[in-house]
């Protein structure tokens, strides 16, 4: 853990009773390949935390671990006072009903209409009658600016619409915690800003705790209360937007200033290696 | 030399791993049969897909199989002066063997391949992750209706194949080879016993489990396919599922026949 992170943690980390999600000393790997190393993270009730980092930094793996879709090799994740790696199946199912997840591509079930996708959690987990479910679905679709799209199939929606429909499904049960994977990826700037506004509106209206995984700087700076910067599987800095912008850690500064890693191509060396290979 | 042994070892390990994964998959599907809420709507949809929409190919293949069988048996039986036995020969061949096997092969081609591809695409598009995160078991919600629909539909399709095959044999025997229609049907009624029908039902149930299990299992683990991803991985697992289902089904046919005859 870097000095910056330690300093930031003392200044920014929420007190224990406010913490809703706590990640302790988390390691995660795909086979022999270690992806996450000693992740320490906490998220308090009602906060928007953005996990930011470049491609291959481990953002998606961290999200998968937090969602219980992947088992860590070490460490623990505590959500709402439950250790998701040791909790029994029934409790995990109960916990999942308090969480909503909006996936990068929407992840709508392709065999059913947009409306049926959004109704699915309500039909599976509540005894509400069909008319109430329809009203709730319409309200959420209106909130996402998707009114009238209920009967379309997912294949008939654009990328931005799919994300918003996925978000509507994620919040249909009014979850306590919302996870959002790459809200801006692949979207035009206007749609991207609209989604950011929607995230802020959701927090305001429902007091949700929101964890957003992104590599989009503008989006992160717009919505985040705090940002955790991931680099090569480690959190190198956690802090407010201002603290991240002012951070002098080279890895953070490079990400903020969009400075690429230096790639040196030695023409002669490349040619000689090619020749060696041919021989 | 050593590298070949290493390759063989690696392959053996990966085959054992895959068998373990598919075994665990089947076990989880079977245990999920009893979990609630049950997806009746999805079950009906899958029965329509696996059963009703397979009817045209079952009717056509059944008819032609029966007709070819009648031609072949007529030729053989005529050499021994026993053409009167053609009805029982066609009926027994269809009910004991060709009905279950041909139906399963047709279902593999039409349903196994599309089910495998559909499930693989669902995996690639994170639809199973989404279901899991919504506290909905993908096994209960996606696999169980397909599994039950196959177990209900394939024996019924087999029965229809058998009947249409016998009618195909009748058309050739009576209208082309001038055999007696009453004699054709009477020899079938006299020869076919309950144990022949039981063999047909048991085989079709076993084949139904094999076909749908391998199609769903291969698709479900598409992300573990080595060296490929995306559309290429979907194509590869679909081909593998079709080949593996057909081979496993024929192997199971031999085992089942040796116990049931």
Q: Which of A69, A109, A111 sits opposite B132 (nearest CB)?
A: A69
Neighbours of A185 (CB within 10 A): 16
Inter-chain contact A124–B121, Cβ cutoff 8 Å? no
| CB contact at 8 A, A178 and A156 | no
Q: d(Cα A87, Cα A77) in Å, to the nearest integer?
A: 11
Residue B260: pLDDT band (50, 70, 90) is: confident
Cα–Cα distance, B167 to B161 (Å, whole number) = 10
Of A110, A120, A179, the CB nearest to B134: A120
Find the chain A residues whose C-beta atoms sit closer than 8 A to any C-beta of B: 67, 69, 93-94, 96-97, 99-101, 103-105, 107-111, 120-121, 124-125, 166, 169, 179
The span from the CA of B238 to the CA of B219, in Å, is: 7
Write out the two tokens for A266.
Answer: 């030695």
Best mutation site among B135, B141, B144, B224 for testing chain A: the one with the most A CBs within 10 Å? B135
As a whole number of angstroms, the distance between CA A35 and CA A23 comes to: 15
**What are the chain A neighbours of B133 within 8 Å (beta carbons)?**
67, 69, 96, 99-101, 179
Q: Compare all CA atoms of chain A with the CA of B36 and give the residue at the minimum distance.
A: A124
- Which residues from A are below 8 Å from B126, CB to CB? 103-105, 107
Which of A69, A93, A121 is closest, CB to CB, to B129? A69
pLDDT tens profile B90-111: 999 999 999 999 999 999 999 9
A28 three-class SS: strand
Q: What is the pLDDT along chain A (279 residues), one digit of tens a residue?
A: 444 444 444 444 555 557 889 999 999 998 888 999 999 999 998 899 999 988 888 898 999 999 999 999 999 999 988 999 899 989 999 999 999 999 988 899 999 999 999 999 999 999 999 999 999 999 999 988 888 899 999 999 988 889 889 999 999 999 999 999 988 777 778 878 888 888 898 888 888 999 999 888 888 899 999 999 999 899 998 999 899 888 888 888 888 777 766 666 777 777 887 777 665
* Alpha helices by DSSP H, chain B: 2-32, 40-50, 55-79, 86-93, 99-107, 113-124, 127-133, 138, 144-170, 181-191, 194-220, 230-260
Rounded to the nearest 10 degrees, the angle between the axes of helix B99-107 and helix B194-220 is 20
Q: What is the pLDDT of residue B251?
A: 96
Whole-number Å distance between alpha carbons of B44 and A152: 22
pLDDT of amino acid A184: 78
A104 and B126 within 8 Å at the Cβ level: the answer is yes
Phi-psi region of A52 (alpha: psi -120 to 50; beta: other; left: phi over 0): beta
Q: Find where tokens 């919600």 sit.
A: B141
| CB-CB contact of A76 with A85 (8 Å) | yes
CB contact under 8 A, A108 and B127: yes
SS3 category, B78:
helix
Of A228, A229, A207, A175, give the one whose Cα is nearest residue A45.
A207
Q: How many CB atoms lie within 10 A of CB A93?
A: 15
Q: What H or E segment, with its residue span, contains residue A223?
A: helix A217-223
* Longest pairwise C-alpha distance within chain B: 69
Using a CB-CB distance cutoff of 8 angstroms, which residues of chain A are in contact with residue B122? Answer: 109-110
Give the one of B125, B133, B136 whose C-beta lies nearest to A67's C-beta.
B133
Taking the C-alpha atoms of residue A115 and residue A130, their distance in angstroms, rounded to an integer, is: 12
Q: How far is CA A188 from CA A60, A108, A207, in A?
A: 22, 21, 28
- pLDDT at position B27: 96
Tell which phi-psi region holds residue A229, choosing left (phi > 0), alpha (psi between -120 and 50) or beta.
Answer: beta
Model ipTM value: 0.84
Name the DSSP letter for residue A156.
Answer: G
Nearest to A140 by CA among A174, A100, A109: A174
Put simply, the answer to whether B136 touches A124 (Cβ < 8 Å) is yes
Strands in A99-102's sheet, in edge-to-edge order, are: A99-102, A177-181, A209-214, A48-53, A226-231, A234-239
From A5's Cα to the closest Cα of chain B, the distance in A is: 31
Q: What is the DSSP letter of A176?
A: S
Nearest CA in chain A to B127: A107
Predicted local distance difference test score (pLDDT) of residue B29: 95
Render B179-232 in DSSP notation, one character per residue.
--HHHHHHHHHHH--HHHHHHHHHHHHHHHHHHHHHHHHHHHTGGG-TT--HHH
């Amino acid at each position: 853990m870097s000095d910056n992170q330690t300093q930031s943690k003392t200044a920014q980390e929420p007190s224990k009773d406010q913490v809703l999600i706590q990640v302790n000393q988390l390691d995660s790997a795909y086979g022999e390949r270690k992806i996450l190393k000693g992740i320490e993270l906490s998220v308090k009730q009602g906060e928007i935390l953005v996990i930011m980092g470049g491609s291959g930094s481990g953002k998606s793996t961290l999200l998968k671990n937090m969602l219980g879709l992947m088992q860590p090799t070490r460490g623990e994740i505590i959500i709402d006072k439950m250790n998701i790696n040791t909790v029994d199946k029934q409790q995990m199912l109960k916990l999942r009903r308090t969480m909503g997840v909006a996936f990068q591509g929407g992840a709508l079930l392709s065999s059913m209409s947009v409306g049926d996708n959004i109704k699915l959690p309500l039909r599976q987990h509540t005894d509400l009658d069909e008319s109430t479910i329809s009203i709730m679905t319409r309200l959420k679709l209106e909130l996402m600016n998707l009114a009238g799209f209920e009967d379309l199939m997912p294949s008939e929606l654009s990328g931005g619409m799919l994300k918003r429909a996925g978000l509507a499904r994620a919040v249909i049960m009014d979850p306590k915690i919302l996870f959002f994977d790459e809200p801006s990826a692949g979207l035009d700037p206007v749609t991207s800003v609209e989604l950011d506004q929607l995230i802020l509106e959701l927090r305001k209206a429902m007091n949700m705790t929101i964890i957003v995984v992104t590599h989009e700087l503008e989006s992160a700076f717009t919505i985040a209360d705090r940002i955790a910067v991931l680099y090569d599987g480690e959190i190198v800095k956690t802090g407010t937007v201002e603290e991240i912008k002012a951070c002098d850690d080279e890895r953070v500064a490079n990400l903020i200033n969009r400075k690429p890693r230096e790639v040196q191509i030695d023409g002669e060396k490349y040619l000689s290696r090619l020749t060696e290979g041919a021989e | 030399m050593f590298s070949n042994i290493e390759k063989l070892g690696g392959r053996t390990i990966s085959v054992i791993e895959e068998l373990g994964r598919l075994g665990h998959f089947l076990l989880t599907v079977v245990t999920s049969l009893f979990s609630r809420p049950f997806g009746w709507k999805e079950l009906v949809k899958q029965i329509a897909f696996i059963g009703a929409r397979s009817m045209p190919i079952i009717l056509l293949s059944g008819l032609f199989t029966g007709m070819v069988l009648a031609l072949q048996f007529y030729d053989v039986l005529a050499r021994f002066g026993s053409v009167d036995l053609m009805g029982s020969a066609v009926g027994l061949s269809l009910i004991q063997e060709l009905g279950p096997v041909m139906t399963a092969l047709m279902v593999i081609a039409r349903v196994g391949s599309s089910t495998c591809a559909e499930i693989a695409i669902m995996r690639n598009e994170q639809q199973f992750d989404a279901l899991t995160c919504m506290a909905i078991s993908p096994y209960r919600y996606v696999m169980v209706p397909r599994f039950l629909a196959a177990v209900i539909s394939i024996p019924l399709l087999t029965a229809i194949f058998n009947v249409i095959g016998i009618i195909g044999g009748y058309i050739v025997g009576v209208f082309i080879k001038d055999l007696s229609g009453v004699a054709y049907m009477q020899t079938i009624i006299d020869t076919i016993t309950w144990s022949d029908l039981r063999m047909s039902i048991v085989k079709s149930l076993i084949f139904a489990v094999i076909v749908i299990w391998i199609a769903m299992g291969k698709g479900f683990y598409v992300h573990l396919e080595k060296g490929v991803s995306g559309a290429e991985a979907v194509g590869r697992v679909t081909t593998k599922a079709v080949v593996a289902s057909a081979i496993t089904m024929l192997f199971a046919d031999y085992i089942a026949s040796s116990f049931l005859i």
